Amino acid sequence: MFLYLLFMLPPLALMLYAQWRVSSSFKKYSKVGNLAGLSGLQAARRLLDEHGLANIQVELTKGKLSDHYDPRAKVLRLSPEVANTASVASIGIVAHEVGHAVQDREFYAPLKVRNSLFPVASFGSQFGFILVLVGLFLYGFSLSFGLPVAWAGVALFAVAVIFSLITLPVEFNASSRAMAMLSGGSLVSVRESAGVKAVLGAAALTYVAALLQAVGQLLYFVLMLVGFGRND
């Protein structure tokens, strides 16, 4: 238990801090209007058209800060609070998602790798942990194939960790593209761009925390199974 807490508590603390920063930054800059006076929905359409992405549709989606670009459907989906608000926070989030659309058009390699890994990573994050537990349960009943089953779970979970790792350059690059789109433009002022950077920086921190959590979990699994193997 001590080893588990040692690996998991620091990333958990960072994640809680990151989520607080996202919430507080978004709340603060949602009250600051952007220079162009455009809602998130209007800004999305304008940025997409300006960057040769008139074919990308913009839709509303449910949920709080559930904004995302869907590369399969070629649709940019915005949450109501982003789509309907003419704020610095909204335009920053929109520009970030448009950055993902530009990545998709340019066949940005990390995005393509992440998209290809998504099905396996999603399965691994959900069932890798279960396989580890099942394997250890079987091993506890002196069934020798329990450890290989547990290691299979670790391998599945490792794909999810790789997915989280590749997510970092994808998200950082999208934020860099967002700042480039907005800097020197007519959508936000120089002063407002600091607010955009604060919102995007807080969001980026959540991806760092998610990666550290995944790595910590993976290391714990590996050390635990290595220990069991040595006891054979």
Domain ranges of the chain: 2-35+88-100+107-230
pLDDT digits 0-9 by tens, 9-31: 999 999 999 999 999 999 999 99
Please identify which of the residues 97, 106, 171, 192 carries the catalytic annotation: 97
Structure tokens at 186: 């007519």
State the DSSP H helix or E strand holding residue 232, giving kind and residue range, or none if neither. Answer: none
Q: Please compute, for residue 224, the number of CA atoms within 13 A of its CA located in the half-sphere on the CB side.
A: 22
| Count of beta carbons in the 10 Å neighbourhood of residue 224 | 16
| Contact predicate 56/76, CB 8 Å | yes
pLDDT digits 0-9 by tens, 176-213: 999 999 986 778 888 889 999 999 999 999 999 999 99
Torsion of CA 215, 218, 219, 222, to 10 degrees: -160
Active site residue 97: yes
Within 8 A by CB and 6+ apart from 59, the residues are 75, 76, 77, 78
Structure tokens at 170: 């994808």
Phi first, then psi: what are they for 40, rounded to 5°? -60, -40
Q: Looking at the predicted structure, is the pLDDT value of residue 229 above 70? A: no
Phi first, then psi: what are they for 33, rounded to 5°? -70, 150
Q: Which residues pair with 58 in a beta bridge?
A: 76
pLDDT digits 0-9 by tens, 26-41: 999 999 999 899 999 9
State the DSSP H helix or E strand holding residue 165, giving kind and residue range, or none if neither. Answer: helix 146-182
Q: What pTM does this model have? A: 0.89
Mean pLDDT of 137-143: 82
Structural Rg of the chain based on CA atoms: 21
